[in-house]
């Protein structure tokens, strides 16, 4: 059975990471969370004082790229791939509201996208990978054998995001989550560099009323048809 490349795109808080991780595990593939890569770049720039809610230095971000090394390591305890920034596990830190509020602006920068896309293509060049993000099926792997575009109702996305953050010990109001999701949707779909859009040959997976098991069965069926 040949190994394929699976691209999973969609809006924030649609469960892309959950599906992609579970799908990769079921197939014995590698899982790459590209959103985590952009979040890690954002976290690094925040820690270095390059960006904040009051300050945003594009030149500073571009310069900082040379000092950023990103890697994914599989955590046997959590059963998930986790991102390391310059040798440090930052999986929890990148999920904060502060990072979420700035990551779309960082990911819209041409130089940032070029560097991340090059890394992503290198990670997935041999196939046998499930990669999720905003532009995987349109820009990173336009010839992926399987493209999935995920979506869900806004109220479902808000509740999922809120529960996710609370499970990590991050207190956040429903209104804060709603505003963040609205802003990220706006930023992701209108940016000049690789905007979020559905690839023409992508299969749409609306998981508003699906369990994790149900959406996995659906995605596995699509994958096996293409192997």
Q: Tell me phi and psi for residue 70, to 5 degrees.
A: -115, 135
d(CA 27, CA 33): 16
Q: What single-letter DSSP state applies at residue 126?
A: T
pLDDT digits (tens, 9 = 90+) for 9-48: 999 999 999 999 999 999 999 999 999 999 999 999 999 9
pTM: 0.85
The domain that holds 161 is classified in CATH as: 3.40.50.300
pLDDT digits (tens, 9 = 90+) for 164-223: 889 888 889 999 999 999 999 999 999 888 899 999 999 999 999 999 999 999 999 999
d(CA 227, CA 146): 9
Strands 146-151 and 5-10: parallel
Total domains, the chain: 1
Domain span at 200: 5-226
Structure tokens at 197: 């859009």
What is the number of other CB atoms lying within 10 angstroms of the CB of residue 33?
24
pLDDT digits (tens, 9 = 90+) for 55-78: 999 999 999 999 999 999 888 887
């Amino acid at each position: 059975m040949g190994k394929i490349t699976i691209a999973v795109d969609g809006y924030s808080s649609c469960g892309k990471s959950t599906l992609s991780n579970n799908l990769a595990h079921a197939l014995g593939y590698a899982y790459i969370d590209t959103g985590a890569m952009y979040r890690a770049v954002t976290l690094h720039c925040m820690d270095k004082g390059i960006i904040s809610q009051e300050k945003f230095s594009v030149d500073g971000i571009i310069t900082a790229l040379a000092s950023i090394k990103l890697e994914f390591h599989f955590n046997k305890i959590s059963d998930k791939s986790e991102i390391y920034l310059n040798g440090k596990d930052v999986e929890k830190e990148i999920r904060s509201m502060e990072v979420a509020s700035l990551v779309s602006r960082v990911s819209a920068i041409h130089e940032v996208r070029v560097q991340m896309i090059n890394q992503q293509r290198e990670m997935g060049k041999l196939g046998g990978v499930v990669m999720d993000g905003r532009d995987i099926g349109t820009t990173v792997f336009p010839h992926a054998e399987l493209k999935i575009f995920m979506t869900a109702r806004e109220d479902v996305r808000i509740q999922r995001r809120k529960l996710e953050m609370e499970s990590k010990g991050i207190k956040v109001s429903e209104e804060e989550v709603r505003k963040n999701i609205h802003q990220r949707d706006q930023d992701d779909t209108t940016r000049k560099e690789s905007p979020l859009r559905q690839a023409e040959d992508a299969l749409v997976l609306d998981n508003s009323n699906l369990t994790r098991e149900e959406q996995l069965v659906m995605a596995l069926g699509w994958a096996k048809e293409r192997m």
